[in-house]
Amino acid sequence: MKRQLTCPCGEHLVGEDEDDLVAKAQAHLAAEHPDHEYSRDEILFLAY
């Protein structure tokens, strides 16, 4: 199960599970990169 992701801006995100990681990544994108949108599959593709 993938639970970590490092955004290209350098922000490191850690979720309790994949759902939590996706939610945190989408919240980060909305707050810091509002011009970028990624699907759940795209976020998990980048995660480890």
**pLDDT tens string 1-48:** 999 999 999 999 999 999 999 999 999 999 999 999 999 999 999 999
This prediction's pTM: 0.92
**Do 14 and 3 touch, CB atoms closer than 8 A?**
yes
Q: What's the pLDDT at 5? A: 97
Count: domains in the chain:
1
Q: What pLDDT score does 27 carry?
A: 98
User: 30: domain range?
Assistant: 4-46
- 48/31 Cα distance (integer angstroms): 22
Looking at residue 33, what is its pLDDT? 97
H-run or E-run covering 22:
helix 18-32
Provide the pLDDT for residue 20: 98
pLDDT recorded at residue 25 = 98
